[in-house]
Amino acid sequence: MSDPSSVFTLQSFSGALSDLVSRAASGVVSVHSHRSRASGFVWRPDLIMTASEALAEEGEIAVVLPGGESVPATLAGRDPTTDIALLRIGRADLQKATLAPDHVTAGALAVVVGARDGAPVAALGIVSVAGGGWRSLRGGEIDARIELDVALRRSSEGGLALDATGRAFGMAVSGPRRRVLIIPSATLDRVAAKLETHGRIARGYLGLGLQSVRLDDGGVGAMVMSVDTKGPGAAAGVRQGDVIIAWNGQPIRSVQTLLRALGPDSVGSSVRLSLKRAGEPVEIGLTIRERPDA
């Protein structure tokens, strides 16, 4: 025979979770793009935030509001490096989601609230990783490393991650090897503010096509395979066939690491490149410009 107090506790817990999801769902929407279904949430009365990776590259976009009403949306801006996209809709009467500081700890309960055709979708899990800031594979600066142990539906990507009190501490996205990553509130607000104003996030540009090569001493270099004649590399005198061996005096660890250094803060800065040209050492100063297609 079951213990009545245990049943009451489970019922109370279940009811509390249901209420938490219901409150959050008023600000969560479905996002439909070409052959893609995802979730998003109201960041500002007429702006929807969603996961850039889950949004089709082209075609029409529609947002399905809580209750099922579908409204057209246009892309206000996207930043693939932080997996954030901003959509604009012609509605200013929607209840926006409130993002709270991302103070979460490993082992804490977490709920992901997404939407499917205007109805809420929820998943319960725990915070498996809670750490410091990191840089994504595409070079985006993420303010905190938060991972969830939770089963995330594809249609819930871009939904809100809530703590046990119902505070939204970030946006749930799919990471490498099926990890569920959270883009924390601080990153969402920082990036979305720039997307709202500029429609993009500036990225650094060298104007060089690079390929990793092994050096004679066992280190790694970046061979220049192509040079944009209008780019900063050409202006600085970098030539096809040069091998970059150091960046501001630091040895190159990989081409990917070098490219990750070309974040928004790099635009306009000067760097010193140490090269090997036909086996001879060459030092070149280069000023990083903004990527033309950023």
Q: What is the pLDDT of residues 50-99, one digit of tens each?
A: 999 999 988 999 999 999 999 999 999 999 989 999 999 988 889 899 99
pLDDT of residue 88: 96
Q: Categorize the per-residue pLDDT at 294 as very low, low, confident or very high, splitting at 50, 70 and 90.
A: very low
Rounded mean pLDDT of 143-150? Answer: 96
| The model scores a pTM over 0.85 | no
The mean pLDDT value of the chain amounts to: 91
pLDDT in tens, 184-222: 999 999 999 999 988 888 888 999 999 999 988 888 999
pLDDT at 8 > cutoff 70: no
Exposed / middle / buried, residue 131 (Cβ in 10 Å: 0-12, 13-18, 19+): exposed
Other CB atoms within a 10 A radius of the CB of residue 263 amount to 17
Percent of the chain with pLDDT over 90: 72
Q: Categorize the per-residue pLDDT at 3 as very low, low, confident or very high, splitting at 50, 70 and 90.
A: low
Residue type, 265: D
- CA 240 to mean position of chain CA atoms: 33
pLDDT of residue 234: 96
pLDDT of residue 207: 94
pLDDT at 2 > cutoff 60: no
pLDDT in tens, 23-40: 999 999 999 998 899 999
pLDDT of residue 139: 78
Rounded mean pLDDT of 132-140? Answer: 86
Rounded mean pLDDT of 227-252? Answer: 94
Q: Categorize the per-residue pLDDT at 10 as very low, low, confident or very high, splitting at 50, 70 and 90.
A: confident
Q: What is the 3-state secondary structure (H, E, C) of the chain?
A: CCCHHHHHHHHHHHHHHHHHHHHHHCCEEEEEECCEEEEEEEEECCEEEEEHHHCCCCCCEEEECCCCCEEEEEEEEEECCCCEEEEEECCCCCCCCCECCCCCCCCCEEEEEEEECCEEEEEEEEEEEEECCEECCCCCEECCEEEEECCCCHHHCCCEEECCCCCEEEEEEECHHHCEEEEEHHHHHHHHHHHHHHCCCCCEECCEEEEEEECCCCCEEEEEEEECCCCHHHHHCCCCCCEEEEECCEECCCHHHHHHCCCHHHCCCEEEEEEEECCEEEEEEEECEECCCC
Percent of the chain with pLDDT over 70: 97
pLDDT of residue 266: 86
